[in-house]
Structure 1
Amino acid sequence: MIDAQSRPQILEHLSKSLTVTIYDVKWIPSSARFVALGTFPRNTGCLQVWELQGAELKMTKEVERPASFKCGTFGASGLLDRQLATGNFNGQLQLWDLERTEQPTFSAQAHASIINQVDGCGGQSKGYGPPELVTCGRDGCVRVWDVRQEEAPVAAFEPGKTDKARDCWCVAFGNSYNDEERCVVAGYDNGDIKLFDLRTNRVRWEGNVKNGVCGVQFDRKDIEMNKFVATCLESQFHSFDARTQHPKEGFASVVEKVAVGSTLWSVQHLPQNRDVCAVTAGDGSVNLFKYHYPDQRKLKDGSGKEKGVAGTLELLANKNLSTQPISGFDWSADKEGLFVCAAFDQCVRVGLVTKLHKI
């Protein structure tokens, strides 16, 4: 456990009130800039680029597009070109050069309606598979796209013909530690969580956490599966130890609840420390947790099969930054503890977490 004097603090550094609704924010790699994605009051898409200039936030670009933006990622882009992938309310997946935003460099009709989330992989790491994007939507489909070809997804996981299509709320890449292995974890409105293996094109594991899954993320994309977190309705989240999969029981997990009863919108692991994550809540709070590994991560059951042992979670800090839900949150990969977030009070905030080197 962390002693009181070493506990981190969450501080708000800058804030800016806007006249638009922002759904997602992402730091532009290797820069002091971030993008804000959302909608203008006239229900058109809003893409803004903001820059930290001393003690001020300056907007350096604003773009309007026909459809509102819901989500974005730089995960499939290299550090030099830094192209932004976006998903919009019309189901379009698009890739943008932020220096020339007249037309997207890639565009595909990924889903029939709103894209709830997009994640990227393979852009910033060499030798860890192709640059790919994964999308999910209200149609219950999870689709994987190679940014070098627009014709069709390279993999698709869709509801069966006799199944009721569940709204897929979130997706994330993981287990991409070489050129062959890569997985996608997806969360659904009925509490289902599914782990898809892209090498075999099959469901590797599935479970149900009894509450709609609002956010999922592996602690790292480009390592062998270690653990992943799923945030849910009714103020709870689950941390799964993905190192050991039991043939019947699946992955060991630990459940934690945030004190204030509200939806947990998202989870973002600290880039510089995979055992620390921020969980954002519907009451406008950011909650910082640390995962503690057990003394023994696996043991054998009565039949000799290995199964995982879950660790514990410790609340390090929490702070209310808004009176409305925090819709988007992103850590800076360049400066430890620096983050940007957006809330439904139509405000973007840049903050800092202190003392992270002590935990």
Structure 2
Amino acid sequence: MSTPLEKPQIIAHIQKSLNYTIFDSKWIPCSAKFVCMGNFARGTGVIQIYEIQRGEVQLLKEIEKAKPIKCGTFGATSLQQRHLATGDFDGNLHVWNLEAAEVPVYSVKAHKEIVNSIDGVGGLGIGEGAPEIVTGSRDGTVKVWDTRQKDTPVANMEPVEGEAKRDCWTVAFGNAFNEQDRCVCAGYDNGDIKLFDLRNMSVRWEKNIKNGVCCVEFDRKDINMNKLVATSLEGKFHVFDLRTLHPTKGFASVSEKAHKSTVWQVRHLPQNREIFMTAGGAGNLHLWKYEYPAQRCKKDAEGVDMGVAGTVNLLQNVTLSSQPIASLDWSPDKQGLCVCTAFDQSVRVLIVTKLNRV
């Protein structure tokens, strides 16, 4: 356990007000730069590139697009290219070379409605296998794209016939630890979580957590599935231990009432997957550490293996805004550096201290 002297501090290092609604923000890998994405009041989309210079953020470039931009990822690009993949309000998936962003390097009408969430894997040297992008939409579908194939997704997870169409709010890649295996987790507005096995094109596991699922994230994409955090509308998050799947009980989990309102985001610290941050609808951030149990697996009454959930400890929390924090991204390069945006139209660069002492 941490002593009070070793508690991490969450410091708002830089704050900047912007003139548009910001939906997402991401660090540009191997740089002191980040991108903000959103929409202007006039209904167009915007991508802005910022750089940290001497304790300030400087706007390097502003790119206006026809449709509001909801989400973005660098996860399927190479470190040399650092192309940004975005999903917009019109259902489009675009991949941009930020050095020359007039025309996308890849473009597809991915969904009939807004792309709510996007993730990438196989790029940046993270995860085995082909670079792929997953998109989740209000139209109820989850699609996986390989940008080397022009117009058709390599996988399309739709509601089965007769099943109600649910709004997919969040998607994430995981289990990309070899050339063959890969999973996508998706969360829906009715509380459903579905884990799709892309190797077998099947649903590997599903669970309903009773409230809309705002965000899902594996603790790491490039390892044999270990943990998954899912956040929800009612201020709760759930940590699932993914090492042991029981045939009837599923994965063991621990849930925590984290915020007084919606938990919009969860992001694991790239340098330590047991530490993660949740972002809340009341403008607050909570920093957590997951503690493993003494044994992660035990036998049930019939002698079948079942998982054992660990515990979560709150390391620190801070209130930054009166508005929801809609996006959060840790720097992959500098431990404790973080960018977040809120619906107060502000972007904040945060420093979290003492993370190597907890």
TM-score per shorter chain, which class? over 0.9
2:200 aligned with 1:196 = no
In the TM superposition, what is the alpha-carbon distance from 1:302 to its structure 2 partner? 1.6
Are the aligned partners of 2:127 and 2:221 in contact in 1 as well (CA < 8 Å)?
Answer: no
Q: Secondary structure at the match of 2:338?
A: strand
2:328 aligned with 1:329 = yes
2:89 maps to which residue? 89
- AA aligned opposite 2:64: E
- AA aligned opposite 1:354: T
Q: Secondary structure at the match of 1:36?
A: strand
- AA aligned opposite 2:120: G
Are the aligned partners of 2:284 and 2:320 in contact in 1 as well (CA < 8 Å)?
Answer: yes
Q: Secondary structure at the match of 2:5?
A: helix
Give 4+ residue runs of structure 1 displaced > 6 Å after superposition. none
1:286 maps to which residue? 285
Q: Hey, what's the Cα distance between the residues in 1 that align with 2:274 and 2:73? A: 22
- Residue correspondences, number: 358
In the TM superposition, what is the alpha-carbon distance from 1:72 to its structure 2 partner? 0.2
In the TM superposition, what is the alpha-carbon distance from 1:126 to its structure 2 partner? 6.9
Q: Hey, what's the Cα distance between the residues in 2 that align with 1:87 and 1:3? A: 43
1:245 maps to which residue? 245
Q: Hey, what's the Cα distance between the residues in 2 that align with 1:30 and 1:127? A: 17
Task: Give RMSD over aligned pairs.
Answer: 0.8
Q: Secondary structure at the match of 1:246?
A: coil
Q: Which runs of 5+ in 2 are unaligned?
A: none
Q: Hey, what's the Cα distance between the residues in 2 that align with 1:17 and 1:159? A: 41
1:77 maps to which residue? 77
Structure 2 counterparts to residues 308-319 of structure 1, below 5 A: 308-319=307-318
| Residue deviations 1:9-39 (CA, integer Å, cap 9, x gap) | 1000001111111000000000000000000
| Residue deviations 1:140-186 (CA, integer Å, cap 9, x gap) | 10100001112200001101221110101000000000000000011
Q: Hey, what's the Cα distance between the residues in 2 that align with 1:39 and 1:221? A: 30
User: Relative to structure 1, is the Cα distance of residues 328 and 254 closer, same or farther in structure 2, using a 3 angstrom cutoff?
Assistant: same
Q: Hey, what's the Cα distance between the residues in 1 that align with 2:163 and 2:294? A: 42
1:104 maps to which residue? 104
In the TM superposition, what is the alpha-carbon distance from 1:127 to its structure 2 partner? 7.2
Q: Hey, what's the Cα distance between the residues in 2 that align with 1:55 and 1:93? A: 34
1:48 maps to which residue? 48
2:352 maps to which residue? 353
TM-score, structure 1 as length reference:
0.99
Identity %: 57
TM-score, structure 2 as length reference:
0.99
Q: Hey, what's the Cα distance between the residues in 2 that align with 1:309 and 1:111? A: 39
Q: Secondary structure at the match of 2:252?
A: strand
In the TM superposition, what is the alpha-carbon distance from 1:56 to its structure 2 partner? 1.0
Structure 2 counterparts to residues 1-359 of structure 1, below 5 A: 1-125=1-125, 128-258=128-258, 260-359=259-358
In the TM superposition, what is the alpha-carbon distance from 1:307 to its structure 2 partner? 0.5
In the TM superposition, what is the alpha-carbon distance from 1:256 to its structure 2 partner? 0.4
